[in-house]
Structure 1
Amino acid sequence: MDNKLGLGGSCYWCTEAIFRSLIGVEKVEQGWINSFENNEWFSEGVCLAFDKNIITLADLVEIHLFSHSSTSNHLKRDKYRSAIYCNSIEQQTEVKGVLSVLQKQFEQPIITQALLLNEFKLSSEHYQDYFYTAPDRPFCQNIIAPKLLNLMERFKNKVNTPLLNKALK
């Protein structure tokens, strides 16, 4: 269980593409996610499995914070909750520690919450792997691709560059 994690912050198509592009992330599914702390409120998110010998929980948290507006409490936060959904109290404690350390890299307070994952509902099958199944879609080119280029620049040693380069052609 400590190699699984839920993430929310921006649209699930973007979040899915970002984490699907990382070395050590084995599986990413997108859909609607909620927490035990607020189990009536679902927001867009992803659930992923990762190889902790290749990519650490701290790496995933850092990439998450820098790949969405983790310090902005904008009007769409009901649909795009900035959160890391943990599978255990131990993982939640570790994530809170990582968030505390990473706060030093941000001028504004991080609003991203470490929550306990309650429920995850997959989005429709035809939306899964949205970017990599058709990277030429206008949304993919105009919204997702720039985020992936930023990811490559900031976290180049964590990115599956051949996979991403093929999709960005």
Structure 2
Amino acid sequence: MKALLLSSCWFQCLWFAAVVGREAWQWLTLTMVILTLLLSIRTNAAQWRWSLAVALFGIVLDSINQAAGFFVFNSAHLPWWMMSLWLAFAWYSWWLSDLLRRYPVFISVLLGALAGMLSYLAGAYLQAVMLPFGVPLTAVILFCQWGVLIGLMLAYRGRFR
């Protein structure tokens, strides 16, 4: 539980650096995330595979969301700070998935979908991303996407042990 608490606090620091710092801090954020991965994962091949798979999935998903016009960033492609944030979430999700697996899948998916959606809405509130389709529609889309993502993560977590 101590590891989860520490990783949760650190993930919030990484989230803050990515979302508040955006382009101005993106290389600092990327460096912090890479150091986090290198220092905490070290030789755990399963956690490396997990982190890379989740990050790649999230980067592709957000690139599709951006191409579809659901998100507008200050760059033509997904910004580095956002990709760094996906790497940070992928690292964090390894720790979080052990906790979520203790609860009924429905509750875990519901909470994960809500948290993921709220993270983007907070980013929009902090002007890190614009939501051209408005908050209600984007919130529904994000909630559904995050529900699927969390469900897939819980289903496949056992493969990466």
Question: If the length of structure 2 is used for normalisation, what is the TM-score?
Answer: 0.33
Larger fraction in helix: 2
Question: If the length of structure 1 is used for normalisation, what is the TM-score?
Answer: 0.32
